[in-house]
Amino acid sequence: MAGGKVFTVLSREWCHLCHDLVAALEPIAAEHGWRIEVVDVDQDAVLEARWDELVPVLLHGEHELCHYHLDEPAVRAYCSRFPLESRA
């Protein structure tokens, strides 16, 4: 699966919308067994050039799930496509 069960949040250190999106995403990620990776676009010129005005951006692999604010219904629907793994 592209990206595994990892959400990537393209973020900026000083961006309150970025922090809000991550905070809102954390319970959804925990519920579905996903990890969150936060990437600072200001540390990567290629990412900054591509995503600059859309940050924060929530990705799974190359698939953009939402930007600016968490689209909770869309993210939950997306997660439901991936089965929960047994913790046994």
The whole-angstrom separation of Cα 26 and Cα 75 is: 12
The predicted-structure confidence for 3-23, as pLDDT tens digits, reads as follows 579 999 999 999 999 999 999
The predicted-structure confidence for 69-86, as pLDDT tens digits, reads as follows 999 999 999 998 887 655
Amino acid at site 40: D
Nearest alpha carbon to residue 10 among 45, 70, 52: 52
By residue count, the chain amounts to 88
Strand order in the sheet with 63-67: 35-40, 6-11, 57-60, 63-67
pLDDT grade, residue 54 (50/70/90)?
very high
What are the distances in angstroms from CA 87 to CA 32, 36, 44? 12, 19, 35
* pTM for the model: 0.88
What residue spans define the domains of the chain?
1-32+42-58+69-83
